[in-house]
Structures are given as C-alpha cells and as structure tokens.
Structure 1
Amino acid sequence: MTGKFEPKEPVQLAPPKDDPITLEELVQATGADGGKCYVAIKGIVYDVTGNKAYQPGGSYHAFAGKDASGALAKTSTKEADVTSEWKHLSDKEKSTLNDWVTFFSKRYNVVGKVKDATNFE
C-alpha cells in the first residue's frame, strides 16, 4: 500500500498551519474572480487554488468554500451531500473519508482550521 495516495508529480508542501479560519472566510474562498479556493475536510482547511477542478465551472467546485467531509465520505459531488457532518456515517464511509484526508494532505497546503468546528477526529 505504500505510495497508494502519492501524487504523480512530487509536491513541495509548506508546513501545515493551524490558523483559525472563520466560516465566513471559508465561504468566500471559492476561487471566484481568481481568488483563493479552499476546501475543508474534518475541519482542516486545504488550499486547492491551483487545481482547476475546484474553480468555478470545475467538476469539484461544489466543495469550494465548504467543509466537504460528508460528500467526500460518500464519494458524491451532489450539493446536498456537501456537509461537515461525518460522525454518523458507516465505517466504510469513514474509511473513505480518511483516505481523502490522506490524499489531500499529500497534495495541498493546510492553511488552517475552521474556527469553532466540532467535526475534528
């Protein structure tokens, strides 16, 4: 399993930050007008600005500016599934979510944590 989530091209990541990011700040980070684009998973905020899939019109734009834990656990891009809640999910869905955390952590800089989030591990 070594290398299962390794990126195809090496990625140089900055040390993770734990700056508090308010929900208002997160909601604004959708990549609109060339701005920052963030996705949170389990309250951890990743900077996905460089990935066009998360930008307006991209296949994963539903996750931009939100905590997408629920949708990622279900491998869904439906707006209705994009929620920060995940603790009620099945063990299989939780495992899938943890795989996404690993995937994101190997590709995107951690820029902070959602302030007052209650969905951490």
Structure 2
Amino acid sequence: MELTSDQLKQYDGTDPSKPIYLAVKGRIFDVTTGKSFYGPGGAYAMFSGKDASRALAKMSKNEEDVCASLDALSDKEIGVLNDWEKKFEAKYPIVGRVVP
C-alpha cells in the first residue's frame, strides 16, 4: 500500500472503523494493537496518522518535530531513531510506505 502524507492522516485513530497507522522513515506501521498509546487520548496519539521519524529521533513530543524530516539530526539522534525503528519492526506489521 502507498499513501501520501494527506492520506495517512485519515489513519490517526479518530475513525474507529479504520486502523491506526504511524510511519517511521517512510514505512507505515499498523499500530492499532497499541491503541491505548496511539489512539485518541493516548500518550503518543500525536504521532498517529503521521511520519513521526524526527520526533522519535529527538525523543520529542513537540508538534513541530512530528514530521519525516531527518535534516540536521545528530548521529546520536539517528541512532535513537534506528532503535525505535527496530522496536516498531518487532512489534507492529509494516503495511506500506509514504509516497510524495
């Protein structure tokens, strides 16, 4: 499955009939089983329906960091992002990728 960023927004958990998706480095994970974290009211709900790569790398919940941009990240932050990516790969199915 390929989704644009705008299409990905439809999978933010606000529509209970749709799965909850979150992207890391352009790959879309189905995080529906983590609804308590990624669904409305969850601690990480701001990441749902978006590519959260930058925010994960920076360990940030700032809205401006919830994006796909990896520009100007430090080597340490890239390492943190890679660790998050491995955690997502181990826990959630990859269902597609984000396209321009």
Over alpha carbons, which structure has the higher Rg? 1
Match of 1:113 in 2: 97
Shift of 1:94: 0.3
When the two structures are superposed, what TM-score results if normalisation uses the length of structure 2? 0.92
Shift of 1:27: 0.7
What is the RMSD of the two structures over their aligned residues, measured on CA atoms?
1.0
In the TM superposition, structure 1's runs of 4+ consecutive aligned residues that sit over 6 Å from their partners are none
Sequence identity percentage? 46
When the two structures are superposed, what TM-score results if normalisation uses the length of structure 1? 0.77
Question: CA separation in 1, counterparts of 2:66 and 2:5?
Answer: 14
Structure 1 unaligned runs (5+)? Answer: 1-18, 117-121
Match of 1:85 in 2: 69
SS of the residue aligned with 2:33? coil
Structure 2 unaligned runs (5+)? Answer: none
How many residues align structurally?
A: 98
Question: CA separation in 1, counterparts of 2:58 and 2:84?
Answer: 11
Structure whose residues are more often helix by fraction = 2
